[in-house]
Amino acid sequence: MRTEAINIYKFSELSEQAKQKAIEWYRSDLDTSYIYNEALESVKAFLNLLPISESRNNWLKPDFNSLDDVILNLHGLRLRTWIMNNIYDSICKPTFKKSIEGAHPHRLTKVNRYSNGNVTSHVYSSFKRDYECHLTGICYDIILLQPIIDHIKTPHPSVTFEDLINMCFTSLEKDLKSEETAMYEDANCIEMLEANAYEFTENGKIY
């Protein structure tokens, strides 16, 4: 039997060549599927608001085949009106103002009653609304909805319903590709290697 002693290094202590080997190891083992799984949840919630469905071949492409032509060709202010009447309350909510102990008469109040008898009222604004991640709580909600939010604020006269929904999916797909690309970049790999305190042998092999 033979016993050998080896030196163990932090990423920052490696030679440049060994660092590159460590980065390549991390990159080869990187799994980005979770960002697409989360985005899919946002897409499903988004489609539940609309009279369209997911494409059979690609969930990042909407299917308009069953949609009435009248809705499909809505544009400008008429499209904005349709949004306000049909999905506005689902994509934005009254802005939270404050929490107070006890009941509160404000009409936009959510009350929590606890088993010990305590009551907390959460008061929301009657005027201000926010476009946070109200569909699933995942960041991809707002990315998917951004073109609709922009149209609510400034209706474009030539943008149709079909154009707008396609813009939503294009926005999401572009963001996903950008995020995935960033995850494979050296800077991100180094950040994750150091944050997770991986250890290596002298040549950059994971220990």
How high is the pLDDT of residue 131? Answer: 66
Angle of helix 161-184 relative to helix 140-153, nearest 10 degrees?
140
The average pLDDT across 111-126 equals: 61
The average pLDDT across 70-99 equals: 84
The average pLDDT across 34-60 equals: 92
How high is the pLDDT of residue 124? Answer: 54
What residue segments make up the domains of the chain, in order of their start?
A: 9-92+131-200, 94-128
Which tens digit of pLDDT belongs to each residue from 119-162? 676 655 555 666 677 789 899 999 999 999 999 999 999 999 99
User: DSSP H helical segments within 154-185, as ranges?
Assistant: 161-184
How high is the pLDDT of residue 104? Answer: 56
Which tens digit of pLDDT belongs to each residue from 179-201? 999 999 999 999 999 999 999 98
Quick one: which of 99, 105, 156, 153 has its CA closest to 129?
Answer: 153
156 contacts: CB under 8 Å, gap ≥ 6:
76
How high is the pLDDT of residue 194? Answer: 93
Q: What is the pTM of this model?
A: 0.77
How high is the pLDDT of residue 5? Answer: 82
| Count of Cβ atoms closer than 10 Å to residue 111 Cβ | 11
Backbone angles phi, psi at 26, to 5 degrees: -60, -45
Q: Would the pLDDT of 109 be above 70?
A: no
How high is the pLDDT of residue 55? Answer: 85
How high is the pLDDT of residue 3? Answer: 78
The Cα 158–Cα 72 span in angstroms is 13
The average pLDDT across 199-207 equals: 90
Identify whether the C-beta of residue 38 lies closer than 8 Å to the C-beta of residue 140. yes
How high is the pLDDT of residue 27? Answer: 94
Query: Percent of the chain, pLDDT > 70?
Result: 82
Determine which of 4-18, 38-52, 121-135 has the lowest per-residue pLDDT on average: 121-135
pLDDT tier, 100 (very low <50, low <70, confident <90, very high otherwise): low
How high is the pLDDT of residue 137? Answer: 87
